[in-house]
Amino acid sequence: MAFNDVEKLLRYFNYDLLDKPTIFNGAKSAYMLSGTKLHFGKEMIIEEDQASMEASINV
């Protein structure tokens, strides 16, 4: 991703990525800021699947 695209993305989220959970997907992995809390409703994902997904994300 070009640096100016990253800047535009961060401006869109107002540099507040902890309160607005954001996952960046790369070619080989996914990334999010350390301390980010993902909030899914029980109707969206079961606990085991959420734990598995979170374990696969680099922080």
Q: 13: which 2 tokens? A: 């989220």
**What's the number of domains the chain is made of?**
1
**Contact in structure between 30 and 57 (CB atoms under 8 Å):** yes
Torsions phi, psi for 11 (to 5 deg) = -65, -40
pLDDT in tens, 29-56: 888 877 777 777 777 888 888 788 888 8
Can you give the residue range of the structural domain that contains 27? Answer: 3-58
Q: Please indicate, yes or no, whether the overall pTM of this predicted structure exceeds 0.85.
A: no
Bridge partner residues of 57 (DSSP): 30
56: exposed, middle or buried (C-beta count within 10 Å: 0-12, 13-18, 19+)?
exposed
pLDDT in tens, 1-40: 687 887 787 778 777 776 777 788 888 888 887 777 777 7
